[in-house]
Amino acid sequence: MTGSGEGDSADRFGVGRLFDSPDFPPPSTTVQVTFGAQSHRGRLAPVNEDHYLILRMGRHQETLMTSLPADVMPPRFDEYGYAMVVADGMGRGGSGEAASRLAIATLVYLVRHFGKWELRVDDTVAQEIIARAERLYRQIDITVTSQRYAGPASADQTTLTATFGSGRDLFFAHVGHSRAYLLRGGDLARLTRDHTARGRQRTGAASPPLREVTVAARDLAHILTDTIGMAGSVGPTIDIERIQLCDDDRVLVCTNGLTDVVDDEQIAEILASEEPPDRLCRSLVDLALASNGKDDVTALVARYRIPG
């Protein structure tokens, strides 16, 4: 004999079947992410010109009062998206620090005031997100470029590399020679390409006039072809892509203070550890410093848990 409780009443009207749909709950409610971050000033740098940000964006529905049963109207519903951002400022007299700080602060301001926080992504929404990310980067470039000419202590130039998304969808947007990596099943893949003279040679792309934006660029890997704040008639090249995440993926976003002195095999070995992300970041930064690294070094790591 079946009962006649509130849950049976809800199922009789089809509400239970609605919540049992394979599209509910959406991935943005079920994917779990843990983060770590470490940043350290370079041995020869007067200040740390790197800045970083890890951000959680969300929306929720909270039931304050209702006559509906709890299985129909739960007290709260939450879903989230996440972002990691690294900016490596370049300039003289500390102006690089001002540039990286301004770039990230501008990004947050634009997202907060003008962004659409899309937490459920399909192909159409993905194209909208990519277009919106490019517009944000263009506005950040305009802001930093304008500040360069505001006075002798103004901001200079910076890289800007970000990963962002919700559920299984991860986007990355990139200018400069900071990097984003994905570790999956022990295999390390670089998501970004360096916007340097060496990177141009490897891709065979036509190279614009080179800009030596480091204080003492020693080789082609340190001569950047694209930065935020570079000026010029068209602005920097902005790389934006989308990938699908799998369970236990690890994502690293870092500055070249790490990748100049630590090779990909060492990075992969550390990321594959079962240590928490913050300890992985500390291990990467410590290795860079122990490897005679002279530049500022920053590492952010995210580890994704995705239900099957």
Measured CA to CA, the distance from residue 199 to residue 239 in angstroms comes to: 13
Note whether residue 132 is domain-resident: yes
Helix (H) or strand (E) holding 202: helix 197-203
pLDDT at position 116 is: 78
Are the CB atoms for 269 and 252 separated by under 8 Å? no
Residue 268 has pLDDT above 70, yes or no: yes
- CA 184, 185, 187: angle at the middle one, nearest 5? 65
Query: What residue numbers bound the domain in which 113 lies?
Result: 49-54+79-194+236-305
For residues 58 and 215, the model is more confident at 58
- Assigned domain for 226 exists: no
pLDDT in the model for residue 216? 40
Q: Which CA distances in Å does 193 have to 135, 180, 199, 253, 292?
A: 20, 9, 7, 13, 24
pLDDT tens digits for 194-248?
998 865 544 444 444 434 444 444 454 578 999 999 877 889 999 999 999 999 9
85 inside domain = yes
Whether 8 is in a domain gets the answer: no
Give me the pLDDT at residue 203, please: 46
Residue with tokens 């890289």: 159
Nearest to 125 by CA among 84, 83, 165: 165
Task: Quickly count helices (H) and strands (E) in the chain.
Answer: 9, 11
| pLDDT at residue number 219 | 52
Tokens of 111: 């997202």
CATH number at residue 127: 3.60.40.10
Give the mean pLDDT of the chain.
86
Residue 5 confidence class, pLDDT cut points 50, 70, 90: very low
The pLDDT-based confidence of 91 (bands split at 50, 70, 90) is confident
- pLDDT tens readout for residues 138-163: 999 999 999 887 776 666 899 999 99
Q: What percentage of the chain has pLDDT greater than the value 90?
A: 65
Tokens representing residue 218 in the block: 């020693």
Scored b (16 or more CB within 10 A) or e, 159-177 reads bbbbbbbbbbbbbbbbbbb
For tokens 């002195």, the residue is 261
Cα(178)–Cα(299) distance, integer angstroms: 10
Any domain includes 289? yes
- Signed CA dihedral, 138, 140, 144, 150: sign only: positive
pLDDT of residue 293: 84
Write the pLDDT tens digit of every residue in 31-46: 999 999 999 999 888 8
pLDDT at 303 over 60: yes
Q: Is 91 a domain residue?
A: yes
User: Domains in the chain: how many in total?
Assistant: 1
The answer to which of 22-26, 88-92, 302-306 has the lowest mean pLDDT is 22-26
Q: How many residues does the chain have?
A: 308
Residue-wise pLDDT tens digits, 272-301: 999 999 999 999 999 999 998 889 999 999
Which residues does 82 contact at the CB level (< 8 Å), separation at least 6?
33, 35, 54, 55, 56, 57, 164, 165, 166, 302
Q: Which of 255, 182, 266, 262 is nearest to 224 (CA)?
A: 255
Is 98 or 15 the better-scoring residue by pLDDT? 98
Structure confidence at residue 230 (pLDDT):
87
More confident position, 111 or 22: 111
pLDDT-derived band at 13 (thresholds 50, 70, 90) equals: low
Axis-axis angle for helices 264-271, 277-290 (nearest 10): 150
27 inside domain:
no
User: What confidence score (pLDDT) does residue 160 get?
Assistant: 98
Closest to 221 (Cα-Cα) out of 239, 203, 195: 195
- Measured distance CA(213)–CA(181) in Å, rounded: 24
251 part of a folded domain? yes
What pLDDT does 169 receive? 96
